[in-house]
Amino acid sequence: MTAMTFDISPVADATLRDALTSKINNLTKPLGSLGRLESLALQIGLIQRSLSPVLSRPVNILFAADHGIIAEGVSVSPKEVTWQQLGHFARGGAGINFLCNQHGFRLTLVDAGVDYDIPAGHGIIDMKMGRGTANFLHGPAMTMEQWEECLSRGAAVVDMEADSGSNIVSFGEMGSGNTSPSSMWMHIITGLPLDRCIGAGAGLDRPGISHKLDVLSRALAAYGGSDSVVDRLRWFGGFEMAMAVGGMLRAAQRRMVVIVDGFIMTACMAAAAIINPLVLDYAVFGHCGDESGHRLMLDHLGASPLLHLSLRLGEGSGAVCAYPIIQSAVRMINEMDSFADTDVTKYF
């Protein structure tokens, strides 16, 4: 297991759960009639240890890094798109920008390991681990020391946001070729055949997917590490993915709500749960995307996503889109009258 530990408290509290359930059940509505809003309100109340939870300063943390495996032709996106898009995010014209603007999210950009010298002064946090990971077809993508440092740096970014007043966070990513390490993580964690974990990524055609499967199968066969799951994760992972894992674990430790985005971030949440399963108590799964394998990975985690909009953008877009539903759950428990406070007859 990883040497870095995260002290995450379980949200289980029978007394508080009973009080929250009673409050929700006695709002002026038929029992259970607001469905997922009710279960979300219960979860957030337990996370915050409050009968009147609040959401403050939502933030989407986007980690960007490059991947050595892209040299094997596993992506239609050339490597330079990573740094180009990171600059695009900083200028405010990308998909995640309009969604963050719409829903009141702060967008925090982190260079986790982009193969480009990002100039200072663009609002991008420098957490660079190197100019991309090594090519895991020929050896480990990163050392165990780099893995540990990524966890630490991801946690540090979350600490910065939590110290600024954020209690709800989503994570996004940018890195050409990063569905390949995500597929490897899915296979390692779920045990599903590798071919069921691989999809089109940014737009591979059928021959491209077959080539991707061949490359990843050869990389898996050549694995030279230990039997440890964490050793396999660092061998096939990405800097931005490892930082997201550290960020998710720290967010749970800080009792923040964690909104989980698409395929890659679901793989990161699954990896975080290997390190500390209690992280899942703090997770709200924003959506089910169209990348092959995402639904299977959600099923493995027992997760029920809030949305299915055929998204496959990444960047945290699906998580941010789900935020208004989470807001509605919190508004429900805080703003609806109870039967005890009105002259409406309790009708269930």
Active site residues: 315
Question: Please, what sign has the CA dihedral across residues 280, 246, 317, 107?
Answer: positive
What the block records as the tokens of 50 is: 């409050």
Q: Of 112, 110, 23, 76, whose CA–CA distance to 334 is shortest?
A: 23
Please give the Cα distance from 204 to 279 (Å, whole number).
33
| Helix extents (H) in 191-293 | 206-221, 229-236, 239-253, 263-275
Please give the Cα distance from 307 to 287 (Å, whole number).
4
What the block records as the tokens of 37 is: 């809003």
What the block records as the tokens of 122 is: 């663009």
User: Is residue 66 helix, strand or coil?
Assistant: coil
Non-local CB neighbours of 112 within 8 Å, separated by 6+ positions? 63, 64, 65, 127, 128, 129, 150, 153, 239, 240, 243
Sheet with 124-126, edge to edge strand ranges? 124-126, 106-113, 59-65, 168-174, 257-260, 283-285
Angle at 120 between CA 117 and CA 124, to 5 degrees: 90
Please give the Cα distance from 348 to 342 (Å, whole number).
15
Q: CB–CB of 272/171 below 8 Å?
A: no
Sort 345 into a burial class: Cβ within 10 Å, 0-12 / 13-18 / 19+.
Answer: exposed
Q: CB–CB of 281/275 below 8 Å?
A: no
